[in-house]
Structure 1
Amino acid sequence: MQPHFATICNIDLNKNENNFNNRLERPCDGCEAPYGYRNHMPLSTNTSTFTSEVSRAAVSGNLDAPEGGFDAIMQAIVCRQQIGWREKARRLLVFSTDAGFHYAGDGKLGGVIAPNDGECHLSDQGLYTHSIIQDYPSISQINHKVKQNSINVIFAVTANQHSVYEKLAQHIEGSSSAVLSEDSSNVVDLVRSEYSKISSSIEMKDNATSNIKVTYHSSCLNGGAEIPTAKCDGLKVGDVVQFTAQILVTSCPTDPREWNQVIQIYPVGINESLIIDLEMLCSCPCERPGAIGYEKHSPKCNDHGTLMCGICECDDMHFGHNCECSTSDVHTGSDKDLVCRPDNTTQVDCNNRGTCLCGVCECEKRQNPEEIISGKFCECDNFSCERHKNLLCSGPDHGTCECNHCVCKAGWTGSACDCRASNDTCMPPNSGEICSGQGECECGVCKCKSTSEGRYSGKYCEKCPTCSGRCQEFSNCVQCQMYKTGPLKDENDCATNCTFVPIGEEKIVIDEEKDEQLCIFYDEDDCKFTFKYSEVNHKVEVHAQQERECPPKVFMLGIVLGVIAAIVLVGLAILLLWKLLTTIHDRREFARFEKERMNAKWDTGENPIYKQATSTFKNPMYAGK
């Protein structure tokens, strides 16, 4: 079934802000007046047309934070012809937003009190015409229309709104929510991921009333026994999953008109369903006098009751399935009940697992004929014993369940017959103590103990990875024989105290099958040497690393001289830098002084205050004669 996508482009008209006429007409410069919902184009495979419509979509504004997204969702669901939904397709509706939503009741703030009718109200231009006529849809209305039209809703919202829409998705069948990036760059991956989740899972639902209980069973893709489940995950295209539905009438409705019901069983998000016409037999003709099957003082009831629909209704003096018991023959009053109770403190007959008939408990029958309830007071059964690995009393080879307890067969013990009676499985193959003397045998399995040296492990507690073992004993000999170091480095001491010769290897590798022990030590030169040993037929075999792993030598005198030289060089470099900076500064100051001196004019003119000592006067009347 091919997926069928629809996206919603929505602008909230804000029913509660009709008084802001100017802002409603022009919410912003160059913006179109707000509208509730517009269907720009029907569903199509023409991507170029879709791109063109998106680019030409008019921009509008919103006068409050929440949006009228529910109006848009409702119209996109119910206007099937205008949207272009196909009949045989999985329908996906992607709702993208970065804000909250208005829901039923918000319209009353703007004087819109008519409830949403859940019908299509799109004009020829694709505009929603009832934005200010009727209220927003409620969540339950959206959920009802989603189930009615088999649509999966994907809420692609920004991170700040994801928690709100995640809770909303829990109340709308077949919907999911995911985080959309701020620039919507991940929208394709988001839709692909959410569609993969939806298409790989199938869940069965029904519209049964409270008087009817529908139980689903399926093995999904496990191929084993059916388990109670209505959902299967991890499906791929071509997988076939079978569900079994069990319908149980829990009670008869008080209204006889509800005795005939039509139940619809359907997979979520898929436009297919199974219709069941159910007729409840809540009133039988055989319960009325004169009908076939109604017989007073019937011989089938030992002449002490009325046979109705095959069941005896006994008189006041008799009881039992066939009225075979007399109250006078058994006991009277409360004594009759005590006969079917183990003691005076018990308040129920036959441990509530049977019926008290004529002072004798008749235990109830189980659906599985192999499961039997027994005992004088129905206190025993053969199915309530302890289980091991989901097997009753560990299976028929180990024991049987008798009166709520496991009776084990020879060779087995324990409350669930899961323990071996012998300790043979705890004995090491090469003889020795039980669990190598380092543990206890419980149920045929060694439970190893922990000591101050370390914790023992292995099937027979024969291993101790953290224990030192004989490593310390062999270390001195390995040092003197391989590396000529250690307390026994003297040849005489080494030959006297060492009884083995280690085998040199380039690299020490542990062989688990030979039960080898790894030993690692550091000598007085801080060098690491590694060796391993094993004991075969009480003979010790030691393999040691040929060369020690020593840290590189550090020349302290060179480091000290290098540090001193570095300090001296840094000091000289700082002095030279200081001298260079001061020289540059002085030269700049001297150059500026020379420039100012060259520009000075005070030494090239005359002093206006200065007067010569000689004064010369001319007689204007003198003509030179």
Structure 2
Amino acid sequence: MEVRLRMQLLLSVVVLCLTVICAQKQSVGLQNPCTSKQTCSECIRTPTCAWCMQPSMRDGKRCFQPSSSLDWTLHCDEKYVYNPDNEYSIILNQKLSKGSRTRYQSSSSGTVIKGSSSSGSSSVISGGSSSGGSISGGGGSISAGGSSISGGGSSVSGGSSSSSGFYAESHSEAVQIAPQRVSLKLRLNQAYRIRFEYAQAEDYPVDLYYLMDLSKSMEDDKDKLSSLGTLLVDSMRNITSNFRLGFGSFVDKVVMPYVSTVPKNLLEPCSGCKAPYGFKNVMPLSPDANTFADKVRDAAVSGNLDAPEGGFDAIMQAVVCRDKIGWREKARRLLVFSTDAGFHYAGDGKLGGIVKPNDGECHLDSSGLYTHSTIQDYPSISQLNLKVRDNSIHVIFAVTAEQFSVYDQLRTYVEGSSSGQLSADSSNVVDLVKDQYNKISSSVEMKDNASSAVRITYYTSGLSGGAMKQTHKVDGLKVGSKVKFEAEIEVTECPKNRKDWQQLIRIYPVGVNESLLVDLTILGDCPCERKSHPTYKENAIECSGAGTYMCGICKCDAQHFGRKCECSSESGGKEFEGVNTCRPDNTSTVDCSGRGTCICGVCECDSRPNPYEVVSGTYCECDNFTCEYSHGEICSGPSHGICDCGKCKCKPEWTGVACDCPVSNQTCISPINGEVCSGHGECNCGTCLCDDDGGENRYTGKFCERRPGVKPPCAVFKDCVQCQMYHKGILTEEECANCTFVPISVDYVEADEDKGEVFCSYYDEDDCQFRFVYAFNDTGHVLVRAQEELDCPAEVYVLGIVLGVIAAIVLIGLAFILLWKVLTTIHDRREFARFEKERMMAKWDTGENPIYKQATSTFKNPTYAGK
């Protein structure tokens, strides 16, 4: 019997697994995103979908999921499948390098020096005298008088002409990001990760342009900066030997109400001041520290009326005038903005009658003056941010304590900028610039210029090299530190303008003029939809001469429709009357519910690989395979009902959404008292729902026969169990044979509450206990399991108990007597020992009477000692 139960259990598990698998298959089929796509372009814009271009296809959808083995509706030859993969290739990948430096020196008599260029080749350079001349070698030339060297892939800075010769240095360009250019062809909504590395190069060139407010209040700051110019250069050259310094100044627009336009004040707005101006490039970037100090010292201060200054005009010109300022391509660019006042921004120019917006272009004349100061408005913060970002410049706002909070907020809106507090006389400018540079160079932040159609997410393992984490910034960098990044690129939408399907995306470290260029091609259509494709045919025979054949389907002209453009407006198709007869209403987006083909206004439903599964209905909205399942079968099986248009039609004796509920309440009648649900509930779908009064006395059990605190009705089964299992009890042999059940014998009985079993226990006339459990199956029949052996009490030996008690009393008495004897003996011995001890310690002579005293006394003279 146990073997049979195990086999039934195993069979039930197999049926359940098959049911789950079938349900999953149907769910996958219903959720397939590819089936509703009508064209090749729509298909490949959906992830995981592929298009079939096979010329002749009877049924099935051309857009399918090749990775899904459950897509039975399509049988396409592999050569006709278009399923483009994402393609990635590296175009330029120079290895990360720290750059190199070569020193050149000559004397008046001429010197021959070998120097290495960035290409790794060496050059032999012969020098000339200070009077002029040229020195060639290494693919370049050196002009001694001007101290310029070119060629050999190296740039040379420094040097001076004198009678003793000159000194110069050549620097090769470092590579800090690799690779430098890649190509990526990418489908929509399919993310692809590109790996790249960044390493901070040693001795990387630095260009620092000092932009200073030269209003009257900054006069002491100018003098201090002049004296600290050499110290600033020396301090920065401890960081990098390839350092250049420039200087510019600004005041404000020379119009009312910013400055006084009284002729006298235009010449001298304040005591000891020069004429006001907008911005002036005083000194382009140069390695000459002495010239910087002289230019700052000779720069004249000026004055204006209102508190804010025209600093935004100055920043814009210093950023965009790359050639005139002298910004190098491969260098870290720093713009130090020093002021003690606020700033004017876009819109403020209207106060002076200036309404033309700032164009973000360079407008410096030959003397370095800003020519459009009175012509166009101040730039906006967003304009500054755009130009600073495009030119890879770090702006350092070095401002006094009164203005620090304002510029510290401005820093958050200008990419790559930072702020520092300047002392009243700018005496801490050297330390400030050095500290800000260390902060800038110790971190790397990745940005990009991707359009709104492309989403880029950055991941990095940081300096620890552990697992990748989503972040675009790494801090704590040192020279030579290498950081690995991953850029996850995903096209979220297909741009309407086809030109935007080709994009050049720049991924760059903020403030560093190096980047990873990504040539992105968006795969948004199919080659077979273009005229250049060999299968593309206009007015094709396959389309009844009324449409274009492409990608295996027909695109009909305005007067025809149908799979092969075989239907026209003259044939009475309602399509041209504003009504699509293949869709139930205007809210539908696909013909024939996505499960058929609209032919001349009539839906031709798709066939299924399984001949027993049928799609039907006017709009192919019905089928016989998507109804509710119960007990592993659709509509509980043919004996209960059939599936009709997605709903179960039940036979007369069954009801419910899956035809799994009997109409009669026979399965709810209790075998204990013959009442429906024992009179304590109602029958619902063949199952008892017990009454619930909201308290603790709710009835439970299959037939609501149990109640908490009340013994279960075990007595109903007691007599039958006793007579059938143990052949005892009050039932006769005939009555025992009429019992409605036969107990199952088990070694030890224990109730399984999950199966609704109830435990029962009784004692018979011999005080033997018998145990059993009962439960009801799905059909309402009782199942009983009883313990095979009775639990009877052990026999009592009275004589043994009496004799044992008597023996115990005797033994206890003897023990008490023995104990008394031992205690008295010990006591006597102790008393005798004490008497003996006292007798031995007596001090009188036993032969004399201690009370008697003699009549004579004897005395001795101690002088004679008895002589």
Q: TM-score, length-normalised on structure 2? A: 0.35
Larger Rg: 2
Higher relative contact order by CA 8 Å / sep ≥ 6: 1 or 2? 2
Structure with the higher fraction of residues in strand conformation:
2
